[in-house]
Amino acid sequence: MNGNGSSLQREDGRTGRHSIVLEGRTALTVTGVTDVTAFDESCVCLDTVCGLLDIEGEGLSVKDLSLSEGKVCVAGKVNGAWYTEKKQKGEKNGFFAFRKR
């Protein structure tokens, strides 16, 4: 994000606003979400207008999801969040394939 909340453009041409708000490591709100690619109690994987975002933690649950608004709210203990690269052609789409740091 460029710091002033203006729209961003991805390499694939998609544009939109994106923000991440973490409150006390127990409530995370993400905007600019285009898809939820996977989730369980330890990980939530989101496709955003800025790329793939992986959120790791404990006891995670999706409390609010509105893809029409591009908003996801996650509850639980958040241990970290980072952006990852898109999968290459032919790469498996399995849940554990997302971890590329």
Q: What share of the chain is helix, strand, coil (3-state, %, to 5)?
A: 5, 55, 40
What pTM value is reported for the model?
Answer: 0.71
- At residue 2, the pLDDT reads 44
For Cα atoms 29, 15, 13, give the angle at the middle one, nearest 5 degrees: 135
Domain locations in the chain?
A: 8-85
Cβ 32 vs Cβ 67: under 8 Å: no
| pLDDT above 50 for 93 | no
Token couple for 22: 């973490």
pLDDT in tens, 54-78: 999 999 999 999 999 999 999 999 9
Q: What is the pLDDT of residues 13-23, one digit of tens each?
A: 556 789 999 99
Q: What number does CATH give the domain 8-85? A: 2.60.40.2000
Amino acid (one-letter) located at 8? L
Q: How far apart are CA 7 and CA 97, in angstroms?
A: 30
Residue type, position 66, single letter: S
